[in-house]
Amino acid sequence: MFEPDGTPQPDADELHRIFRRAPAGALAVAGIATVLVFALWLVFYLIVFLPRGLQQ
User: Rounded to the nearest 5 degrees, what angle is found at the Cα of 33, between the Cα atoms of 49 and 47?
Assistant: 15
First-to-last CA distance in the chain? 66
Collapse the DSSP code of 42 into the 3-class scheme (helix H, G, I; strand E, B; otherwise coil) and give the result.
Answer: helix
The pTM is what? 0.57
- pLDDT tens per residue across span 1-56: 566 666 777 788 888 888 887 788 889 999 999 999 999 999 999 998 888 877 76
Query: What was the pLDDT predicted at 31?
Result: 97
Query: What was the pLDDT predicted at 41?
Result: 96
- State the Cα–Cα distance between residues 51 and 56, nearest whole angstrom: 15
